Amino acid sequence: MTQGKKVYLRPFSSDDIPIWSKWFNDLAVVEHMNKGAFPNTDEQQSSFFLAMSESRTDVQFAIALQEENTIIGTVGIHKIDWIHRHGSVSLMIGDKVYWGRGIASEVIGLTVRHAFTKLNLNRLTAGMWSSNLAAKKSFERNGFRLEGTLKGNYFYKDQYVDEWVMGLLRNNWSP
Ligand SMILES: CC(C)(COP(=O)(O)OP(=O)(O)OC[C@H]1O[C@@H](n2cnc3c(N)ncnc32)[C@H](O)[C@@H]1OP(=O)(O)O)[C@@H](O)C(=O)NCCC(=O)NCCS
């Protein structure tokens, strides 16, 4: 649907639910996420899939490899506000084998393009734990800048870490 170099973004299908659900039970994948505190079931994932399919304030894509046509993660634009024209990006490369290959950076680029040129949004945000340096860098690579810090908002291992809120205005975006 949305074509990149290494990956493309496509809709999820019900056949994807088992692998999608499995990613959220991988403790390495959810290390810097709220997910993982409670187990994730295929039934929960199925309900989420249906909710996303019907939502007009969320856009959810599967990340698929160009070469193999298999899915390796998910990206979404959530909490879309159609009056003020903003939304929040979240992503997960669920298959760890593909970490560190520039895929998140490419996926964020594709998602930003979709948000600004197809959905006609004016602003995007992204929230992350301050322990998640790879996430921060992949958003920075696409023009997002740190706009705010919520001190000690998340419990990570044996300490509280900050929440970083990053943002990108359409005017500051370089296509
Ligand atoms: C965080 C995540 C999205 C990064 O994806 P990725 O495809 O590995 O990221 P990229 O390969 O595009 O790398 C992005 C940048 O982070 C750097 N990076 C990668 N792994 C890193 C690490 N462990 N620590 C610090 N920097 C790292 C890369 O060098 C790159 O920096 P550069 O732009 O200066 O070259 C991925 O690890 C993931 O999905 N994790 C699980 C879910 C998650 O945490 N999602 C984010 C929630 S906000």
Residue nearest to atom 21 of ligand 1 (CA): 134
Render pLDDT for 61-74 as a digit per residue (tens, 0 to 9): 999 999 887 999 99
| Mean pLDDT (whole number) for 95-101 | 97
For the chain, give every domain's residue range: 2-122
- Is a pLDDT exceeding 80 seen at residue 1? no
Render pLDDT for 161-170 as a digit per residue (tens, 0 to 9): 999 999 999 9
- Percent of residues, the chain, with pLDDT higher than 90: 97
Counting ligand 1 atoms within 8 A of each CB, the residue from 29, 91, 106 with the most, and so the one to mutate, is 91
Ligand 1 neighbour 124 (Cβ under 6 A): no
Render pLDDT for 22-78 as a digit per residue (tens, 0 to 9): 999 999 999 999 998 999 999 999 999 999 999 999 999 999 999 887 999 999 999
Which residue has tokens 């698929």?
64
Ligand 1 neighbour 110 (Cβ under 6 A): no
* Amino acid type, 21: S
Q: What is the CATH number of domain 2-122?
A: 3.40.630.30
Which residue has tokens 């296509």?
175
Q: Name residues whose C-beta falls within 8 Å of residue 71's C-beta, 6 or more positions apart in sequence.
A: 12, 16, 19, 20, 62, 63, 64, 65
Whole-structure pTM value = 0.97
| b/e burial code for range 29-50 (CB count within 10 A of at least 16 → b) | bbebbebbeeebeeeebeebbe
Counting ligand 1 atoms within 8 A of each CB, the residue from 30, 74, 93, 146 with the most, and so the one to mutate, is 93
Q: What is the pLDDT of residue 11?
A: 97
Distances (CA, A) of 102 to 53, 146, 158: 28, 20, 30
- Percent of residues, the chain, with pLDDT higher than 70: 100
Mean model confidence pLDDT for the chain: 97
